Structure 1
Amino acid sequence: MEFRYTLDNNLLTPEQRHFYDENGYLLIKNLVSGEDIERFSNEFAKICKKEVQVPGLVITRDMAVAKSECVPDPRTVYRIEEFQEDEELFRYCSMPQILKYVECFTGPNIMAMYMMLINKPPDSGKRPLCKKTSRNPMHQDLHFLPFRPADLMVCAWTAMERIDRSNGCLAVLPGTHKGSLKRHDYPDWEGGVNTLFYGMLDYNKNLPRLHLVMEKGDTVFFHPLLIHGSGINRTQGFRKAIVCHYASADCQYIDVKGTSQENIEKEVLEIAQRKYGVSTPTTLKDFWIRRGRLVKGERTNL
């Protein structure tokens, strides 16, 4: 049997490889220990309390936090990104039990390109300014990534607690990784949408949607073209997950000008100018070169 989306390896069974080929994702149970997850959670809390300062860290607040009292703790953030300079959190990206699966998709030269810890806030919608901002529109991760080929990239997404439809689990459209990159923009939602939460403008909404129920420590690996998103957190707590997007170091950067990805490059550059005073001409490629970290093998291209 020939497989397109996984490389030959001694870890995945033929059944697992076939499942990923057909569906674009693979769920591995209990891959990260409860002890490690507690350590990640504690580090996140320290960052929120400003007990830890991390160079280059990007903190995103849910738009409802600043505009209302929907979330009582003002230190709470929706997610933190670019924690490659935080030794504790970056440990997730280089865990052997994660990388052994990643290598099945990327090969031996592995770059950790984009990492984040998501802290999806409660969003009951009972107060006027709570406008379901905790949801994430259906999208493809490749829209944000200026390198190829897509088949040598994979995302590892680990639940830091039980995640189901009540607190906004991942929803995926199985098999959509076989398609092409679609156009993305901000969805026209009542109440608005968080910064950089792009969604697909046109896709078949009649395709069956699968909700991934995950226990603490479960990890799902998925293709960057797989259409996915997450729903509203209807509970009173915060739903946490830790994530890393990996790519083969043998991938090549592309120029996104004139493509459907040009809008994301434009916004990233505008944010950089506004927040950090970056005025020299830069490209999306420049940002990813700075973000990427080698976690296994040799850094060849990226």
Structure 2
Amino acid sequence: MFTNRLYSFFGHIQQQFQPKLLNNKITIGSLNQRLKLLSTTTESKYRYSFTNGANDKISNEQRDFYEENGYILIKKLLSDNDIERYWQRFQDLATGKVEPNPLLLLQRELATAKQAIHERNLYKVQELYADDVLFEYCRHPLVLDIVEAFTGGPNILAIHSMLINKPPDAGTKSSRHPLHQDLHYFPMRPADRIVGTWTAMEKITKENGCLSAIPGTHKGEHLEHDYPEWEGGVNKLYYGIKDMKNVVGDRIHIEMERGDCLFFHPLLIHGSGMNRTKGFRKAISCHFASSTDCHYIEIKGTIQEKLAQEILDVYHRRARSFMGGDSDNMTYKDLWRNRSRLVRGEDKIGATTS
């Protein structure tokens, strides 16, 4: 942004005062060369974010913070009207006022898994692309403008989306989410062109289970994950990092107000504690990837294979139960192509079937 302003300034000088500059042996050409060098030097220190010329939605200070810590928190990004709209849609789905699309995944918490779906046991809604109202979040211009700074361009896919309704803990501590890296779920690379968003739908504190994270861990490796051996168990597909002994850094808690939005790198180690209050804790989230730079990878034989097979098993059962289809030949890549949606620009890599 600074260098862009300098270019504009010296462009004006070129028109108004070119003779004087030439007499002083300072040419516009040499100034342009120096400014380009300054711009290149400035950008070269950024690995995880881009300005993309006109994209000035985040400052260099915010970029610096993301580079160092792996996340930034944007206060009050979404309006109360936006949040209320998502909130009402969740209630309508939970109470049966709105018939859910069969592709929308309604998930109960472990402690109430055998009960019928209702407002107090519906803890997660996934595949928001199957609901026009909730998917507005993933298409929100204010969200995408900032996402673009991390995906590196205007071609953006929404690859995973959900609304989380963390319930009061039932005494089993199963409302905890172990420390993990979101990249463990994704068969896409490079990680640096993927970003997660997590928006508070109400005041979120340490007491009701805010996110916690270890800043700077996005600079590390993709670590092996598995189910933690916790008393009381853990919700299905809630994998955690298997061995934390080599992870360096102190965990912080990220408390948020309604409408605040967290943007974070998929290698950032994070999780959430149990909800110790009597109320629910709602947040809406989406992960985005560049549809220009990202590509699918083969996860067979990697540390992701176990989780991938478990996720595939879940979707095979759903396909047979709700859609009557034969999905046994679906691969993990196919699943992610089916759930990904283009939300801005063009799909340059054929990442989605939609």
* Fold in common (TM above 0.5): yes
Q: 1:179 to 1:279 in 2, by over 3 A?
A: same
Q: Deviations over 1:125-178 (max 9, x none)?
A: 2xxxxx101110000000000000000010110000000100000000000000
The residue number in structure 2 matching 1:259 is 302
Select 1:155's aligned residue among 171, 190, 196. Answer: 196
Q: 1:67 to 1:54 in 2, by over 3 A?
A: closer
2:258 is aligned, of 210, 216, 229, to 216
Partner of 1:110: 156
Bigger radius of gyration: 2
* Count of residue pairs the alignment pairs up: 295
Offset, 1:182: 0.5
- How far apart in 1 are the matches of 2:248 and 2:231? 22
| Structure 2: distance between partners of 1:282 and 1:288 | 10
Alignment gaps of 5+ in structure 2: 1-41, 321-325
Separation in 2 of the partners of 1:18 and 1:296? 26
Structure 2 residue 99 is the aligned partner of structure 1 residue 56? no
1-structure distance, mates of 2:147, 2:242: 30
CA contact (8 A) 2:110 2:235 kept: yes
* Aligned counterpart, 1:287: 335
Contact 1:61 1:78 in 2 (8 A): yes
2:130 equivalent in structure 1: 85
Alpha-carbon deviation of 1:31? 0.4
Do the aligned partners of 2:227 and 2:238 also contact (CA within 8 Å) in 1?
yes
Partner of 1:274: 317
Matched, 1:94 2:142: no
Backbone CA RMSD of aligned residues:
1.8
Q: Secondary structure at the match of 2:130?
A: coil
- 1:83 CA drift (Å): 1.7
State the 1:49 CA deviation: 1.5
AA in 2 matched with 1:164: T
Call closer, same or farther: CA 1:201–1:23 in 2, change over 3 Å: same
Query: Cα 1:49–1:73, aligned 2, differ >3 Å: closer, same or farther?
Result: closer
2:224 is aligned to 183
Q: Is the 8 A contact 1:113 1:246 kept in 2?
A: yes
Give the CA deviation at 1:74: 6.7
SS at match of 1:93: coil
Q: Is the 8 A contact 1:138 1:199 kept in 2?
A: yes
1:7 is the counterpart of 2:54? no
Q: Which has the higher contact order (CA 8 A, sep 6+)?
A: 1
Partner deviation per Cα, 1:187-224 (whole Å, 9 max, x = no partner) = 11111111111111012466200100100000000000
Residue in structure 2 matched with residue 22 of structure 1 by the alignment: 68
Partner of 1:249: 291
| Contact residue 112 and residue 292 of structure 1 kept, 8 A | yes
Q: Give yes or no for the alignment of 1:45 onto 2:91.
A: yes
* Aligned-pair identity (%): 52
What secondary structure, in the 3-state scheme, does the structure 2 residue paired with 1:163 have? coil
Cα deviation for residue 280 of structure 1 reads 2.7
Give the Å deviation of 1:256. 0.2
TM-score by length of 1: 0.94
Which of the pair is proportionally richer in helix?
Answer: 2
Counterpart for residue 128 of structure 1: none
Query: Does the residue aligned with 1:243 lie in a helix, a strand or coil?
Result: strand
**Deviates most, 178-187 or 45-54:** 45-54
Shift of 1:282: 2.0
Letter of the aligned partner of 2:338 in structure 1? R
In the TM superposition, what is the alpha-carbon distance from 1:75 to its structure 2 partner? 5.4
Distance in 2 of aligned mates of 1:79 and 1:273: 19
Secondary structure of 2:343 counterpart = strand
In the alignment, structure 1 segments of 5+ residues that lack a partner are 126-130
Report the TM-score, using the length of structure 2 for normalisation.
0.80
Residue 94 of structure 2 contacts residue 118 of structure 2 at CA under 8 Å; is this kept in 1? no
Amino acid in the other structure paired with 2:306: N
The whole-number CA distance in structure 2 between the counterparts of 1:222 and 1:133 is 24
* Partner SS, residue 122 of structure 2: coil
Q: Which amino acid aligns with 2:298?
A: D
Q: 2:58 aligns to what SS in structure 1?
A: coil
Q: Secondary structure at the match of 1:165?
A: coil
